[in-house]
Amino acid sequence: LWNQIVLFYILKSLHVQTLTLMFKEKQKNISESKYDIKRDQVCSASSRCLLSYRLKKFYIEAAAASNITITDHPVTFDPEASWLQFHLGISRYALYSGEDGSIDRLLRDMQTATVISADFTQDEKALKGACDCSQVVKPSGLHLKLALKLQDFGKAMFKPMRQERHEETPENFFYFVDFQRHNAEIAAFHLDRVLDFRRVPPVTGRFINVTGEILDITHNEELRSVFFTSPANNTCFFAKCLYVCKSEYAVCGHPDLLEGSMSAYLPGLSIAPRISIPNPWIRAYSFTGREEWEVNPLYCDNVKKLYPYNSGNRLLNIIDMAIFDFLTGNMDRHHYEIFTKFGDDGFLLHVDNARGFGRHSHDEMSILAPLTQCCMIKRSTLFRLKLLAQSEYRLSDVMRESLSRDPLTPVLTEDHLQALDRRLGQVLRTVGKCVKKLGEPQVVITDFVESSRVTTSHR
């Protein structure tokens, strides 16, 4: 099934030389850039004038400071590379198998491998021009992630730290303007593995040198242009915004080290297409709106009649996802993704978990609506949850142990770990109520992957 992947990357490695030549050319063009004081513009030799005044000023300073020498690191293509093994191991049931040692290897590689280039992510580029973020600087930066390419051709999505671990999201924040948290991204991967779902791409924490591992190696002029040196002499760069404009906010190294999360890239869309499907329990992304599920307690009956929720495992998969999001407190699951190759019963990807773990003192029961309203759960999921509620395997203990292996440990504060136990109790109580009302055969559903899941123990 995945033979194409190998072929694709071999072809890609042949292109490296051509690319390097192109980058050299581009580098020349950058160094020929001119700052036109009269017109307040920076224009490259190829006459692309992009930047606002303030950013231009930073650009000039940053450019002078770094003297625009792009560091070129050698790249090697290794068919045994851990990220490639990860791609090849993806199945219809999960992103990796319970026994797969290459995942730990992948985590180590993402922690240590030399970063050879940095760029905005594809979806960030797609937003280009969607809003003008060049006006006000205020502390509500929303959206900042970079694609980092590693020495072995692996790719990771980097999300820098935006919020201290002990800070709680203010009560009055709407979920869609909340911060993205790098530690939530890391913790979500561990939680997903502990739950034996294996639907979150591997994530590790890492200190990134903003100067040496982003600014000096990026071939993207625009990314270079958002770098500047802060009054405290730290190297910083700006974010772009998604929903709310005029809110642009810098992140800074200390003086150039910045902690963040590294999430392993999934196989490219061209070789392993995915589709993004609106969550039937989507929230209204406005200040006043209400969705039908919020007002109609019988909403699930409607969903059950609709394709693809009317057969197979899809609805049970949605309920798994709701339980996962409830445990992390993530209210932002507006869409979910599946690989098209595996058809309707393939697993749901749980990517983008950075909006979880915002508030430990509050359990957002509405996230659990799919479970509460449908009163169904996979037998394998329930089995796992019950196990993690026992004192020998307490969820918070297993999580603490699992997270202690991350370079950024402690990834979660004790308060967040305790909240996991409390929320797990809420889930089990909800299932208990359903069983009482409808009887176990109605509520606890045997799913077809059970046999392969129950036997694998967590690590």
Ligand X SMILES: Nc1ncnc2c1ncn2[C@@H]1O[C@H](COP(=O)(O)OP(=O)(O)OP(=O)(O)O)[C@@H](O)[C@H]1O
Give the binding-site size for ligand X (rule: CB under 6 A). Answer: 14
Place of tokens 């200190």: 207
Helix (H, G, I), strand (E, B) or coil at 74: coil
- Pattern 139-158, binding to ligand X, x per CB under 6 A? --------x---------x-
Place of tokens 């957002």: 364
Residue 272 binds to ligand X (criterion: CB under 6 A): no
**H helical segments located in 285-353:** 292-295, 299-305, 314-328
Contacts of 258 (CB under 8 A, 6+ apart): 160, 161, 207, 208, 209, 210, 251, 252
Can you tell me which of 90, 266, 374, 443 binds ligand X, judged by CB under 6 A? 266
Residue 216 binds to ligand NAG (criterion: CB under 6 A): yes
Place of tokens 């303030």: 54
CA 96 to chain centre: 17
Can you tell me which of 124, 152, 178, 256 binds ligand NAG, judged by CB under 6 A? 256
CA 356 – CA 261 distance, rounded (Å): 14
- Residue 262 C-beta: closest distance to ligand X, Å: 9
Q: How far is CA 121 from CA 26, 118, 181, 201, in A?
A: 20, 9, 17, 16
Residue 21 binds to ligand NAG (criterion: CB under 6 A): no
Do 307 and 125 touch, CB atoms closer than 8 A?
Answer: no
Can you tell me which of 89, 98, 212, 425 binds ligand NAG, judged by CB under 6 A? 212
Q: Which stretch binds ligand NAG (CB under 6 A): 18-26, 285-293, 402-410, 426-434?
A: 18-26
- Is 192 an annotated catalytic residue? no
- Residue 398 C-beta: closest distance to ligand NAG, Å: 34
Residue 20 binds to ligand NAG (criterion: CB under 6 A): no
DSSP designation for 358: S
Site for ligand NAG in 41-80 (CB under 6 A): 45-46, 64, 67
277's enclosing H/E stretch is strand 274-278
Q: Select from ligand NAG, ligand X, none the partner in contact with residue 284, using the beta carbon and a kind-dependent cut-off of 5 to 8 Å.
A: none
Q: Between β-strands 203-209 and 250-252, what pairing exists: parallel, antiparallel or unpaired?
A: unpaired
Residue 201 binds to ligand X (criterion: CB under 6 A): yes
Residue 273 binds to ligand X (criterion: CB under 6 A): no
Q: Select from ligand NAG, ligand X, none the partner in contact with residue 67, using the beta carbon and a kind-dependent cut-off of 5 to 8 Å.
A: ligand NAG
Q: Select from ligand X, ligand NAG, none the partner in contact with residue 121, using the beta carbon and a kind-dependent cut-off of 5 to 8 Å.
A: ligand X
21 or 269: CB nearest ligand NAG: 21
Contacts of 338 (CB under 8 A, 6+ apart): 274, 275, 277, 346, 347, 348, 349
- Residue 258 C-beta: closest distance to ligand NAG, Å: 10
Do 265 and 166 touch, CB atoms closer than 8 A?
Answer: no
Residue 122 binds to ligand X (criterion: CB under 6 A): yes
Can you tell me which of 43, 88, 257, 271 binds ligand NAG, judged by CB under 6 A? 257
43's enclosing H/E stretch is strand 41-43
14 or 306: CB nearest ligand X: 14
Residue 78 binds to ligand X (criterion: CB under 6 A): no
- Residue 404 C-beta: closest distance to ligand NAG, Å: 24
CA 450 – CA 452 distance, rounded (Å): 6
What the block records as the tokens of 132 is 């003008």
Query: Which residues contact ligand X by CB under 6 A?
Result: 121-123, 147, 157, 201, 263-266, 268-269, 351-352
